[in-house]
Amino acid sequence: MKKNFGLLLIGLFFVSGLTAQKIKLSGVKGDFSPCTTPLGDGFMKAVDTAAGRQVADNYRTWENGDVILVKFMNNAGSKDIRNRIMQFAKEWEQYGNITFKFVPDNTPQTNIRVRLGGRKDSMGHNSSVGIQCNDVPQYLQTLNLDTSDFIDYEGYEKELNTGGPFYQYLVRKGVDFNNYTYGELYDDIRSYPDPARKWNLKAMGRTSRHEFGHSLGLLHEQSYPGGIKWNTDTVYKYYASRGWNKAKVDFNVLEVSDQFFTNGTTYDPRSVMHYAVYAWQTLDGFSVERSSEISEGDKKIIGALYPKTAKVSAIAVPKVQISNLSGLVVKTDNVRKGLLIYPSFDLTTSAVLGKVHFVARLTTEDGKRYIPTANVRYSWNKMAGVYLPVNLLPSSKVTYNKGLKKNLELFFPFREMPDLQGKKVKVEFTVYLDDVVNNKLNRLVAYSLSQPLSMPL
């Protein structure tokens, strides 16, 4: 027995001696996935005075005081990581009159749906911007988080070099440490079934705050007009190494927001909504470290968009949400001699009075081109069409053409159309918001296209 015990001590000493030496890894250390939230008008298409505030899309903010329903999807993620993400998201509530209410995964109707993914699915980090979430079908996520970026890789690498549980796991797996790369290490860490997963809370907090900031209507701060003098050549090369083409870099990194969305305030490099910027990416050597915390500027813009001391924000704008847009019915009426156009949808307005144009334009049979016209009365931007301007009441909801009774009709007389005898066309229906006060006209809100129809001879 004593002999066996002595051999065991020698064996333990031998193993600890091996693991005390740092294992050399080849390859390149990894980096975090950047946020790919689109900043333009497309979907999956996100200002202080001295300290600075960030850029926000006022037309996509929620109504002040809204309770936003949020759920996690697909039963993904441990209770631990969910609780931490919820905690980071709800930090925004301290600074504005807005609430994230997290509900069970099986809740049928929610505003925000969080998908917890990983590096292999290539979904990255991104979020719909503000009320854009309501345009996303209930079976799809509105916010993606790559939880691979939230792992404490350094903690597991330390275990690797000190003979900890992760090292023992790799030994049992039969890893060849003489030819071990960082890429293989990261893959092993992600697949390691650790019941007490080590998390990098700084990375998790930074990304969670950032993406939930987008969900409140905030945009990327580096899009502030004039904020950064980019060296575009080096930026394109850097992101090309990450698999991004020029269009994606333009859309996610270099796109500059309209000055209006700065709300009259200044650039904030400390914003949690800011990308990291390296000196070699700019013409003047300017650089910005990634912020992990909600900045003073962030707090002020959320307080301005969602004030706790006022019913309506002083920087609120007219907003229109179109939902349940379906069944665009177009009929040929030989008695009235024209097209009868009946779009079907629900329209909800914000607390600020607004105006919309319901527009029906003729397109070619493939729906790719409008049909030009010299008719001034029946045109929209010199294209054949008919439109109806409507003044909207604040904080209201209207349903159009959902029942048997039609309450919205657009009529396009044949005599007012270009010469289309016998040709096939489509009808495109769109809704445009006009914010005359802020000189923001013709903002596209909704779109629908009919089936082809033949014009009478």
The predicted structure's pLDDT at residue 191? 93
User: Residue 51 is which amino acid?
Assistant: A
CATH superfamily of 320-454: Immunoglobulins (2.60.40.10)
The mean pLDDT value for 366-373 works out to: 93
Is pLDDT at 223 greater than 80 in this prediction?
no
In terms of phi and psi (left: phi > 0; alpha: psi -120 to 50; beta: otherwise), the region of 3 is alpha
Residue 127's closest CA among 105, 153, 100, 151?
A: 100
> 118-151: per-residue pLDDT in tens?
888 878 899 999 999 999 999 999 999 999 999 9
Going from the C-alpha of 93 to that of each of 100, 309, 385, 403, the distances in angstroms are: 8, 14, 45, 40
Cβ burial, residue 2 (10 Å; 0-12/13-18/19+) = exposed
The predicted structure's pLDDT at residue 263? 55
Q: Show me where the domains of the chain are located.
A: 12-316, 320-454
Question: How far, in Å, CA of 436 to CA of 440, rounded?
Answer: 6
Question: How far, in Å, CA of 332 to CA of 343, rounded?
Answer: 15
Q: Which two tokens stand for residue 321?
A: 């949400």
The predicted structure's pLDDT at residue 137? 92
Question: How far, in Å, CA of 11 to CA of 271, rounded?
Answer: 54
The full DSSP string for 97-115 is S-EEEE--TT-S--SEEEE
User: Residue 332 is which amino acid?
Assistant: T
Sign of CA dihedral 63, 69, 74, 79: positive
Residue 211's closest CA among 306, 316, 92, 95?
A: 92
If one looks up domain 12-316 in CATH, what number appears? Answer: 3.40.390.10
| DSSP letter (8 states) at residue 290 | P
> 252-286: per-residue pLDDT in tens?
777 766 545 555 557 788 889 888 888 998 999 98
Q: Residue holding tokens 């024209």?
A: 338
> 435-453: per-residue pLDDT in tens?
877 777 788 888 899 999 8
Residue 95's closest CA among 314, 311, 313, 304?
A: 304
160 versus 442: the higher-pLDDT residue is 160
- Among 40-49, 192-201, 301-310, name the one with the lowest average pLDDT: 40-49
Is pLDDT at 84 greater than 90 in this prediction?
yes
Is pLDDT at 221 greater than 70 in this prediction?
yes
- Among 13-17, 52-56, 250-254, 350-354, name the one with the lowest average pLDDT: 13-17
